[in-house]
Every structure is written in C-alpha cells, then in structure tokens.
Chains A and B, each alone.
Chain A
C-alpha cells in the first residue's frame, strides 16, 4: 500500500518496541514530544485536523489510492477535511476506530489458544468491555453522521508473553488517546461518555502492566496524553 502521509508512518522499530518494552513506549512518548506540564492537552486535535487536512488534500491531488491508509486508520482523515463534520464527530469516529481494533485484537487473542485460567478470563472481560465501547461509540457516531468504517486489524500473536506485552501497549495507548481528546470535545454528553471509557482503558492498562510486573502507573502521578496524530502513527501498522 502506497503511503500517502509519510509523516504519519512511524519507524517499524518504534512500533515493535511499543509491544516489546514499556521503556520503549516511554521513549516513544518522549520522542513524540508531549509533556503534560500544567495539563495543556489542548491543540492536539486542532493540530491533527490541520495536518490531516493538508496531507489529505495533498494525497487527493497527487495520489488517490494513497489516501486509503490514512482514511481507514481513523475514518477521521476524510472527516477532518469534510467541513460538514464537527470536531466531536471526528473524535468519536477516531475513538470508534481504536475500539474496533481493540475489540478485534482481543477476539483474536482469546481464540489464539495462548492463554488459559485467570489471564484468559481477564482478557475475555476486557474484550467484552471493548465490544461495548464499540457499540456505544457506533451509536453516538451514527447520531452525528456517518460512523467510521470498521478497519481490519492485523496483530502478531506469537507467544503469550509477547501478546500480553502488546495488549498492555494497546491499552496504555488507548488511555493516552482518550486523555488526549478530553479537552477537545465540545459536547458535554460526549465528554462524559469519553471520560467513562477513558478510565476503563486505564484500568485495563494497569492490570496488564501488573501482569507484566511493570508499574501500574508508568507515567508517574500524571498520565500523559497523546495527540490523534501520535496515536494514529502507532496504530497504522496494525491496520491491514
């Protein structure tokens, strides 16, 4: 698949690192360059929409097939350049895309035969939570306009250890993604819903970190947000 927006494409090693090591995740976060300081997560979406709009129009004029990756990766690229789509709609579709991927990930993990006992039951519970998030977000997205298309995820499922690490990376990423959007959401109703999902991702992340004998709070006392652009860069290789 031709890459329409190389700036969204992370080096493979960074992505593999995410699944491999929490230290790598932190390095990535640092590399991505967001510091939470007094808590200014704003401008994330604005920056994304700006970047996305321009890269979208570029790809639309230069290559048509090339835009598919960016488009599928969020369902927001199109949305962001669509003047009829509100910021909230783009954010909800972005969240829906991430939840689709998480839900597919858990379904594959549960069927992989790599897990049993307590860990399997935890993974099943988390998968069901993600399924419910998909249903709820799809409902909200439908009420706002056209819901994002369901992406097809591809995940390396080689061993229980590597999958658990990937699951932790996915959940920590999800928590950072929701946190990164909180200040961008206009509708109080949608904000309340996003907050109620955000802390579920956080609970999942802490659990998986604990199973890996890592700190439940890898960012310290203040969780770090990630922008849409940062998150999409990380998930892109996991979309078929």
Chain B
C-alpha cells in the first residue's frame, strides 16, 4: 500500500481536520528524521513527538475517522463477506467496540466544543474471510500506532486517559486476530511503534472514498 501519491478530496478533508499544511510537512520531516531502531525506546519517542502541534479536537477527529473506518469494516464489510466461526464472533464483538469508541469520541469532541467529522464512505479490498482478517490485522495495528503516536500530543489529561483506554482495546483486538491467523502477536517487538499522522493516513487513505 503506497497511496501517498493518490490525492483524494475526502482525504484532503481528513488532513485538514488535523493541521495546516506547514505543520503537516514539518511533522513528516520530523518523522522521516526519526530513525526506527530495533528495541530502543528513544526512536519511538521521537516519532511520537513528531505528531505534536495538533489541537486535542483535531486529534480526536482524526481518531474518530479511524474508528468509523474500523466499525464500518467489521459491521458492514464483515457481514458482506460472510464470516464464520471464530472470525464471525470476533468481528461482531470488535465491531460493537469500535462503534462504542466512535460514540465516545463524538461525545468528547462535542463536549470540548468541537465539531465531530462526518462519517466518510469506505471501501475495503477484501473478498473472503482470509483477506478480511488480513486487513483487520493491519487496521488494528495501525490503530494502536495512531493512538500511541498521538497520545503525548493530547493536552487534556482526561482525554489522554480516555485514549489510553481505547488504545488498549485496539491492541487486544490486534493480538486476537494475530492468534487466529498465525500472525505475530507483537509485530513491533517489545515496544509498540507510535505512528505519525502521515503514516496512519498512508494506510487509511486508499480505504476512504468520500
């Protein structure tokens, strides 16, 4: 997946919901400068801090977009694909949980005086249970990295605590899917890598159609 060169109007909206272009570019540069080491903490830290600059409401709206994406994936695409067995059980549970995250984020954005982003339209390139689970694994791991990357930039500590209680669920989802599909339970080793917003967008962008 390398969609960075495919601009789409809907995605521009997601970006705008975050920060202005200058900050965005600065962040990208900082992220690029942060070398990802194997197991040291320092590189992850610089990457997480590269996400600085956005307001809490911007961050929450970005998270809301991801939660919409995840809940739609499980609840709509999961049904369309026709899952069975453990995959079906997990998709139902996880879909409900992502929808709860979206509701909680919507409420948090409103109570912070912000305007929640609208739910976008999505497309998911999956055709069967195997490809569904493969994308589920990518999406959950992206969610973990996104929240971990944005966490230190939240200035309201209550929101940070709330984001923490959500990211832990994303990590649990990722591990469950890993177990089911024989993927790595801890794909980043002993320390989860925070993702910058551009890194997250690179994963999410091709899935957002309007």
Contacts and interface: CB of A to CB of B under 8 A. Distances in A.
Interface of A: 36, 38-42, 122, 125, 128-133, 136, 139-140, 175, 179, 182-183, 188-189, 191-193, 195-200, 202-207, 210, 215-217, 220-225
B190 A39 contact: no
A201 to B, nearest CB: 8
A202 B41 contact: no
Contact of A183 (B157, B167, B176): B157
A203 B175 contact: yes
B81 interface: no
B192 A39 contact: no
B171 A196 contact: no
Interface of B: 39-41, 44-45, 48-49, 90, 93, 96-98, 100-101, 104, 108, 144, 147-148, 151-152, 157-176, 178-179, 185-186, 189-194
Q: Majority SS of interface residues in chain B?
A: helix
A4 to B, nearest CB: 30
Contact of B186 (A183, A200, A216): A200
A183 B185 contact: no
A175 B165 CA distance: 10
Contacts of B144: 199
22 contacts: A36-B165, A39-B108, A39-B162, A39-B164, A39-B165, A41-B158, A182-B151, A188-B152, A192-B41, A193-B191, A195-B164, A195-B192, A197-B192, A202-B168, A203-B171, A216-B175, A216-B176, A217-B169, A221-B101, A221-B166, A221-B169, A222-B162
Contact of B148 (A39, A196, A205): A196
Contacts of B90: 216
Contacts of A175: 168
